[in-house]
Amino acid sequence: MKTDVKYTLNEIKLELTYRCLLKCIHCSSESCSSDMPELSYEDAMRIVHQAIDMNVKKIAFSGGEPLLWPNLEKLIAVCKKAQMTVIVYTSGIAPNNLTIIKTLKESGLDKIIFSLYATTSEIHDAITLVNKSYHQTLEAIKYSISLGLKTELHFVPMSSNYTKLPELIELAKRLGISQLSILRIVPQGRSKENQNIILSHSQTKELEKLVKSNITQDMNIRIGSPYSILLCTNSPDCMAGIDRLTISPDLTIAPCDAFKQVKSIDIAGTNFYSKLDNWSLQECWIDSPYLNRIREFIKEPLNAKCSSCDNLKICHSGCIAQKYLLHGKLSSSPDPLCAHIRECYSENRMKSLGQHLYKQDI
């Protein structure tokens, strides 16, 4: 399946390794400290050069924990020579972490984004399942800021920490951080095993209120399209496979992080052009039936309930990946955490789909 529409790849996320010293209860990659998939240096450099040839503007290195991947500074230096914007997503926890962060800064790293789940070790460490991880991450954050490296935070709301968002925002302000991004849990990996951590509908409404009441001029709270149901974003358009791509350590491509455990054959009926082993980045970007099916679906008509909703311009029917993971297929139905959820899905219907990921409590 090819498309006549030309899409420009502007941004890639390269997951270098699934090794991580943390064991976060929501981790979609189920990362741990050993025996995890890892991208080879040769493959990583090949992909970077292919991205440069395609004039990709931005690259993010993530994991797992990218600070555990050797030679990251060499990748960054090559990207910066090509004038790409380079970002690293991290917990900040690795042997010699401060030395590594300094080396990345010296190699030209533009921005480093730390995952922080609370302002206390009690809550944060209960999520990472590693004692003292909060203090280690906070130390890395402060060191990054002291280097003059642009530093931001990622926050993943869960049932145990979402009410702590205002406290985290205040901490960010005190540290001199000007942007905090709110990321939505994807019900795959460990979060599928720990379903009680996923926000209920009433908790999601509380989160919406917390976000709206804490938006100030000196703190940008970034809400991406996966959380468009919070009605807090001015950019609800889903760009999965439109201008960006996620690449896993096994070289598999996905339209975005939320689709990375969804197989190409389940979406498009084939695995052709879905892996950067036999095919180049450009070939996959242009010819992937997986990506082209997602692109076509994004343009398809919405469910009648969504089409008549006053909030459609703000939410755009929510996250297509979340809907896929609930239904097992691409669906035009409202987002599972939509305010109209009770009218659209019955609890029995959701149970019949084999999912208990979204609690019916409104």
Among the ranges given (60-64, 217-221, 302-306), the one the predictor scored with the smallest mean pLDDT: 302-306
Across the range 268-287, mean pLDDT stands at 97
Q: Which two tokens stand for residue 161?
A: 């920490």
Residue 72 is part of which domain span?
11-230
Position 35 scores a pLDDT of 86
Q: Is residue 314 part of a domain?
A: no
Q: Which residues contact 140 (CB under 8 A, 6 or more apart)?
A: 90, 91, 92, 93, 97, 98, 101, 114
Give the Cα separation of 254 and 246 in Å (integer).
5
Under a CB-based contact definition with an 8 Å cutoff, are residues 141 and 119 in contact? no
pLDDT in tens, 243-255: 999 999 999 999 9
Position 34 scores a pLDDT of 85
pLDDT in tens, 47-57: 999 999 999 99
Q: How confident is the model at residue 338 (pLDDT cuts 50, 70, 90)?
A: confident
Is the pLDDT at 146 greater than 90, yes or no? yes
Q: Which of 180, 95, 183 is nearest to 136 (CA)?
A: 95
Q: Is residue 283 part of a domain?
A: no
Rounded to the nearest angstrom, the gap between the alpha carbon of residue 117 and the centroid of all alpha carbons in its chain is 15
Under a CB-based contact definition with an 8 Å cutoff, are residues 195 and 186 in contact? no
Among the ranges given (238-252, 258-272, 273-287, 335-349), the one the predictor scored with the smallest mean pLDDT: 335-349
Q: Is residue 303 part of a domain?
A: no
Across the range 274-282, mean pLDDT stands at 97
Half-sphere exposure of residue 63, counting CA atoms within 13 Å on the CB side?
32
pLDDT in tens, 117-126: 999 999 999 9
Is the pLDDT at 346 greater than 50, yes or no? no
Count of the separate structural domains present in the chain: 1
Q: Is the overall model pTM greater than 0.85, yes or no?
A: yes
347 three-state secondary structure: helix
3-state secondary structure 274-311: CECCCCCHHHHHHHCHHHHHHHHHHCCCCCHHHHCCCC
Strands (DSSP E) along the chain, which ranges? 11-15, 58-62, 85-90, 111-115, 150-155, 179-182, 220-223, 244-247, 253-254
Q: Is residue 104 part of a domain?
A: yes
Q: What is the mean pLDDT of the chain?
A: 91
Position 111 scores a pLDDT of 98
Give the Cα separation of 345 and 286 in Å (integer).
36
Q: Is residue 302 part of a domain?
A: no
Q: What CATH number is attached to the domain comprising 127?
A: 3.20.20.70
Under a CB-based contact definition with an 8 Å cutoff, are residues 296 and 217 in contact? no
Q: How confident is the model at residue 182 (pLDDT cuts 50, 70, 90)?
A: very high
Is the pLDDT at 356 greater than 80, yes or no? no
Give the Cα separation of 338 and 319 in Å (integer).
10
Give the Cα separation of 19 and 63 in Å (integer).
7
Give the Cα separation of 238 and 341 in Å (integer).
20
Give the Cα separation of 126 and 344 in Å (integer).
35
197 three-state secondary structure: helix
Among the ranges given (33-42, 106-115, 156-165), the one the predictor scored with the smallest mean pLDDT: 33-42
Position 19 scores a pLDDT of 96
Give the Cα separation of 29 and 261 in Å (integer).
9
Q: Is residue 288 part of a domain?
A: no
Q: Is residue 275 part of a domain?
A: no
Q: Is residue 204 part of a domain?
A: yes
Q: How confident is the model at residue 351 (pLDDT cuts 50, 70, 90)?
A: very low
Q: Which residues contact 104 (CB under 8 A, 6 or more apart)?
A: 72, 73, 76, 88, 112
